[in-house]
């Protein structure tokens, strides 16, 4: 196989990864996670739950890259500092910062999982109410009001969950981006 002067699709993909690693790495992790969960026939709620752990995975990737830079495998890390002692100290401070970021994202993720469980329970309750609509409602308990209240709670859970997930994503992308800037 001759590699001619024209770049193939693999070169374009690698160039995208090299120039946009902050975006490409999370997308790759997300796609691989979804494909693995789909191939192993996980339930839909479990697939969604695995997507919510991507921010924590990104912080772990950042920690791995930082440790690689501190070990001297990525020379760009040490070039940001005047000597090895300063680079090691900065690496330790960054490791502590990534540890704190991982703890923060884990705490937020705990809240998201709780909200997700409550949403899923409310969603299943709507399915139960819709299946019992064929039956005569009991006097004084109109099903319409119950469904309306359940949908209100579903909206509440999502409106609380989305900002937390967004904050998790911001923290993890900033952590990974900050480490990648120090490795260049």
Q: What is the pLDDT of residues 102-126, one digit of tens each?
A: 999 999 999 998 998 898 888 888 8
Pick the closest to residue 100 from 88, 110, 108 (CA basis). 108
Domain assignment present for residue 4? The answer is no
pLDDT in tens, 3-19: 555 568 888 888 878 77
**How many CB atoms sit inside 10 A of residue 175's CB?**
26
Residue 54 lies in a domain: yes
Number of separate domains in the chain: 1
In a domain, 11, yes or no: no
Q: What is the DSSP letter of 139?
A: T
Q: When comparing pLDDT for 80 and 45, which is higher? A: 80
Cβ neighbours around 28 below 10 Å, total: 12
CA-closest candidate to residue 28, choices 50, 52, 58 = 58
Tokens of 2: 């001759």
Instruction: Please count the other Cβ atoms lying within 10 Å of the Cβ belonging to residue 156.
Output: 14
Lowest mean pLDDT among 13-22, 76-85, 125-134: 125-134
């Amino acid at each position: 196989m001759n590699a001619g002067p024209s770049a193939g699709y693999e070169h374009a993909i690698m160039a995208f990864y090299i120039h946009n690693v902050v975006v490409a790495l999370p997308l790759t992790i997300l796609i691989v996670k979804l494909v693995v969960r789909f191939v192993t026939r996980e339930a839909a709620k479990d697939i969604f739950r695995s997507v919510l752990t991507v921010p924590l995975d990104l912080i772990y990737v950042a920690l791995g890259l930082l440790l690689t830079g501190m070990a001297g495998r990525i020379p760009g890390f040490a070039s940001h500092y005047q000597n090895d002692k300063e680079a090691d100290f900065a690496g330790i401070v960054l490791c502590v910062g990534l540890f704190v970021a991982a703890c923060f994202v884990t705490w937020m993720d705990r809240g998201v999982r709780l909200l997700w469980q409550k949403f899923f329970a409310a969603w299943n309750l709507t399915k139960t109410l819709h299946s019992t609509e064929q039956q005569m409602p009991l006097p004084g308990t109109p099903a319409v009001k119950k469904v309306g209240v359940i949908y209100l709670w579903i909206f509440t859970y999502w409106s609380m969950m989305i900002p937390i997930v967004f904050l998790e994503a911001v923290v993890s992308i900033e952590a990974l981006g900050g480490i990648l800037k120090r490795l260049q």
